[in-house]
Structure 1
């Protein structure tokens, strides 16, 4: 059985054509099955040839597509990564890079490294390594995401109690 793949590129006004093209090439080479891929392509202007896509999804559609997926391929944005690992998806994170006009700087490299250091995701620093990353996530167990919201709320409550 083929793994279902959901690609999310976020909603910022930057293209990420490089990633979409890499996925198209993997579909052409039959490394992945285009029927098992759906992408939310955001502001990218590359039109996928071998898999389904939509520019933007509403919250419900987004949740439904991610829910069907075994693997989520995303840019290196914190929200996209956390959203996927919270749903216990295997995540491949590919950084947007300034030199390709995909972002204003290369901060996503550092974000991806931090998530990788926590063993939450599979980093894919170059789209040429995407096939290898897909194979890696199929056979790797990642750590469960643990929110630290409760810790923050508890510390704020404790601070307020100390003031009173």
Structure 2
């Protein structure tokens, strides 16, 4: 199963769903596709659409998925990486009215550049990126949270 995550941002991200739908219709994607569509209005006979899901259901869908295709929100990406899933992140772009700015390009550049995930960028074919997942081994992701906690604790102790 492929799990597509659009997150909770209020602007639509139909560009990604149109591409996934095309690949499903053409038989390039043959497995089930479940979509958490958020505020993106979309109708499909080929995709299983859910507007929002509970935290527990989201966790279960991430666990069950062979592949995560997600907008480039940090929470959605990191959840997949922490579960050791192959993640394709697709940045929402301001020029298409998908976000207020293009900060998701920076997120994708950093995490894909470090080998944690793959990305689908404008001008690339999504089916090509999906084919890359067959051989792609994501570099394990380790949060810097513990280091930040230690810095804060040391600062407090020094004050």
Normalised-by-shorter TM-score class: over 0.9
Whether 2:58 is the aligned partner of 1:58: answer no
Aligned residue for 2:25? 28
How many aligned positions are there?
A: 159
CA distance in 1, matches of 2:73, 2:143: 17
5+ residue gaps, structure 1:
none
Bigger drift between 62-71 and 125-134 goes to 125-134
Aligned residue for 1:161? 157
Q: Deviations over 1:60-113 (max 9, x none)?
A: 111111110011000111111111101111000011111211111111111110
Higher helix proportion, which one?
Answer: 1
TM-score of the aligned structures, taking structure 1 as reference length: 0.92
**3-state SS of the aligned residue for 2:125?**
helix
Aligned residue for 1:97? 93
CA distance in 1, matches of 2:46, 2:39: 19
TM-score of the aligned structures, taking structure 2 as reference length: 0.94
Aligned residue for 2:7? 10
Q: Which runs of 4+ in 1 moved over 4 A?
A: none
Q: 1:39, CA displacement in angstroms?
A: 0.6
Task: Give the CA RMSD over aligned residues.
Answer: 1.3
